[in-house]
A = this chain, B = another copy of it.
Amino acid sequence: MQTISFNKIVIFGVGLIGGSLALALRRAGWAGTVVGVGRTATSLARARELGVIDEALALNDPDVFRAAATGADCIICAAPVAQTLPLLQGLAPWLAPHTIVTDVGSTKSDAVAAARLALGGKVDQFVPAHPIAGREASGVDAALADLYVGRNVVLCPLAENAAASIASVAAMWTAAGANVAQMSAAEHDAVFAAVSHLPHMLAFSFLEHILRSADSAHRLNYAGSGFRDFTRIAAASPEMWRDIALANRVALLEEIDGYRTVLDELRSLIAAGDEGAMNALFARASAARAAWGERQATAVTKPSTGTGTGTGTGTGTGDKFSE
């Protein structure tokens, strides 16, 4: 058992992300009762059957927010990000002072804005969080107790947050096996616009470009393992990425513009046949990518501080679906 834990945890959205957290916390002995709140009776029944949650509440129950908030130590918004605002608005009247609210969204400035709007004077109870983990599969059947082992979770605390609230959310993720970091919501959104959101936009655009050629089916027949890896993220959920791109629009547009500048430069180098400058650009990129790969390999072989199966989860062979 951990020294800090939550007797009643409520998770709105018991899919891959929320369900995996529930499984991890139960295995770590961190959670007392886990209450899942969902849209469909079928998926809630499945979550109970899989031992992910103890109790279920239907989102369309008129009394759901009062029932969820009563006695809750921690409420986790793990539903699609577009629902964060209405969920927080529904919860606001019922939040007891000791209840911590957190989320798992991929963008954080918008979550903070939603929390300020919905919670008003209770915004100090909202600790924004973003676990950097995922799989291609979704839904509660895809949930894994190990999903967060060795993965990063970024907290973006508000100035209003009590130190103890931040510490509790950090301890919860540590109990799930994750490494916890902190940065501002603005910094978070700039970092992830660059290393996550931009590559998704580039991969979607690449597929769209291929599809526009008259012989796209023929071309795709000759795509190899480089194509396979480069485009894996383009198989991601259209709705989720539409929402992320819109939520992080300002930072993302800046990254797209910076990227286009580089691509335009490379185009000019190729057109001019500037071998030296092409080689220098490719060599910088290649060296940076190789060094990154080596750091990752080192990071995943060091002993885990989590409670899970220890090392190795982060080295996935391509089945992991990071944002």
- Where the two chains meet, the residues of A that have a C-beta atom closer than 8 Å to any C-beta of B are 132-133, 151-152, 154, 181, 191-192, 194-196, 198-213, 215, 218-239, 241-242, 245-246, 249, 252-253, 255-264, 266-267, 270-271, 273, 275, 278-279, 281-286, 288-290, 292-293, 296, 314, 316-318, 320-323
Contact = CB atoms under 8 A, between A and B. Distances in A.
Contact of A279 (B196, B208, B239): B239
Nearest to A228: B296
A200 B225 contact: no
Contacts of A259: 205-206, 209
Given A202-B202, A226-B322, A284 B191 contact: no
A219 B191 contact: yes
A266 B266 CA distance: 20
A151 B266 CA distance: 31
Contact of A267 (B212, B256, B289): B256
A242 to B, nearest CB: 5
Contacts of A221: 152
Most chain B CB inside 10 Å of its own CB: which residue of A253, A262, A323: A262
Nearest to A248: B270
Contacts of A275: 242, 246
Contacts of A314: 225
Given A191-B219, A286-B234, A206 B200 contact: no
B227 A322 contact: yes
A323 B223 CA distance: 9
Contacts of A242: 275, 278-279, 282
Nearest to A267: B256
25 contacts: A132-B224, A151-B224, A152-B224, A194-B219, A195-B210, A196-B222, A198-B206, A199-B206, A202-B202, A203-B230, A206-B259, A207-B284, A207-B288, A207-B289, A209-B258, A211-B284, A220-B292, A231-B292, A234-B286, A237-B286, A238-B283, A242-B278, A253-B267, A253-B271, A263-B263
Given A207-B284, A238-B283, A286-B235, A292 B223 contact: yes
Contacts of A279: 238-239, 242
A208 to B, nearest CB: 5
A194 B213 contact: yes
Contact of A234 (B200, B219, B289): B289
A34 B133 CA distance: 49
B222 A132 contact: yes
A22 to B, nearest CB: 22
